Amino acid sequence: MDTSQPILFFDGVCNLCNGSVRFILEHDRRGVLRFASLQSETAAELLPRFGVDPKALNSVVLYENGRVYSHSDSVLRTFKLMGGPWAYLYHLGIVPRPLRDWVYNFIGKNRYQWFGKREACMLPRPEWEPRFVDER
């Protein structure tokens, strides 16, 4: 498994998560981030090593340089990795983590109700396939 680039693990059946991945793919012009669903073999193999249960599906998880980030930390680091004007959003990290994570968890608990859920993980467009781990 190639872990040389950051991997963003997301709930593959969540419409909000899939929309977020599409947004990142369109705005991460440098192509730094790669993606895998939390339901993937890569998630099942890699994340438990860091004490993360990929079946919990309660957070996007960013793997970067041998570390994992979850909840609001994963979102902020993702913005930083995207570069460009999005990187400035990383500075929202000055907001205390308990408050950031409370907002993150509130949205997470309601995401299926607000945005819906798919029956299966999304299939990436052909031009995006190289950015997905395990999904080819």
pLDDT score recorded for residue 1: 66
Q: Is the pLDDT of residue 87 over 60?
A: yes
Nearby residues of 98 by Cβ (< 8 Å), 6 or more positions away: none
- Domain map of the chain by residue range? 7-131
**Mean pLDDT rounded to a whole number for the chain:** 90
More confident position, 119 or 91:
91
| Count of all residues that appear for the chain in the document | 136
What is the pairing mode between strands 34-37 and 67-70? unpaired
Which pair of structure tokens corresponds to residue 75? 């979102």
Residue 84 zone, left/alpha/beta (φ > 0; ψ -120 to 50; rest): left
Nearby residues of 86 by Cβ (< 8 Å), 6 or more positions away: 27, 79
Residue 65 zone, left/alpha/beta (φ > 0; ψ -120 to 50; rest): left
Whether the Cβ atoms of residue 43 and residue 54 lie closer than 8 Å to each other: yes
Whether the Cβ atoms of residue 17 and residue 115 lie closer than 8 Å to each other: no
pLDDT score recorded for residue 35: 95
Average pLDDT over residues 53-66: 90
The band of 136, judged by pLDDT with boundaries at 50, 70 and 90, is very low
CA distance 66 to 131: 19
Percent share of the chain, pLDDT over 90: 74
Q: Is the pLDDT of residue 124 over 80?
A: no
